[in-house]
Amino acid sequence: MYSESVPVHLVRHPIVLEGLLELRDVSTDPPRFRHIANRISILLAAEALADLPVREVTVQTPLGPAPGVRVAADIVVVPVLRAGLGMLGAVLELCPAARVGHIGLQRDETTAIAWQYYTRLPDGLRHSYVLVIDPMLATGGSAVAALDSLFAAGAIDVRIVCIVAAPEGLALVDRHYPQVRVFTPVVDDGLNAQKYIVPGLGDFGDRLYGT
């Protein structure tokens, strides 16, 4: 079970928490849901990338030289299809030069076990800062499957950004990949019999796309 030792990074920004409340609300329609998911994801991704390496540079203002920094990192963002696509625009807004990998995972409706139907990752992950974006971390099966693919492809620095996490999912990630940090606004109570997060927000993909 999830314990305080799991390296979860709670992002408790008030705008994230207010948005999360709106995502949870069953009356929030898909257009609004997409808008809020994007807004939350910007803040979550900013936090997950707060320790990116930089190099010092100087630019000329109209009044003279000014020191500053540029990001000196290869960033790879990997949405887990399909719900992770709802967070992709936010990350690309922050990091327009990021490379994008895709991992398609679908939970079986009866067993909740995820099967991987698509994988396409950029080369050279060894030196990249890899951000896995998947809004729901429930049993953790999808996250671990995504991490299996990324580490097999050579990734070393991988972070997960989600919008709602369950203790069960955090514990599973920690058991398989204790070095992976999870950025989330909240750790909910747990899973119901169908392996949905409670209270959660329902099926993220369905609410995002109106299916």
- Chain residues in the site for ligand URA (CB under 6 A): 83, 136, 138, 196-197, 200, 203-205
Q: Which of 11, 37, 48, 80 binds ligand PRP (CB under 6 A)?
A: 80
If contact means CB under 5 to 8 A according to the sort of partner, which of ligand PRP, ligand URA, none does residue 196 touch? Answer: ligand URA
Q: Which residues is 197 bridged to in the sheet?
A: 191
Instruction: Point out which span in 5-13, 58-66, 117-125, 138-146 binds ligand PRP (CB under 6 A).
Output: 138-146
What is the C-alpha separation between 169 and 83, in angstroms, rounded? 17
The per-residue DSSP string of 97-150 comes to: T-EE-EEEEEE-TTT--EEEEEEE--S-GGGEEEEEE-SEESSSHHHHHHHHHH
Of the candidates 107, 159, 174, 207, the residue annotated as catalytic is 107
Q: State which H helix or E strand residue 70 sits in.
A: strand 64-71
Q: Which of 77, 114, 131, 160 binds ligand PRP (CB under 6 A)?
A: 114
Q: Which structure tokens are listed for 112? A: 């909740």
Q: Is 175 a catalytic residue?
A: no
Distance of CA 142 to the CA centre of its chain: 12
Closest CB to ligand URA among 11 and 197? 197
Q: Does 169 bind ligand PRP (CB under 6 A)?
A: yes
Catalytic sites, residue numbers: 107, 111, 203, 206
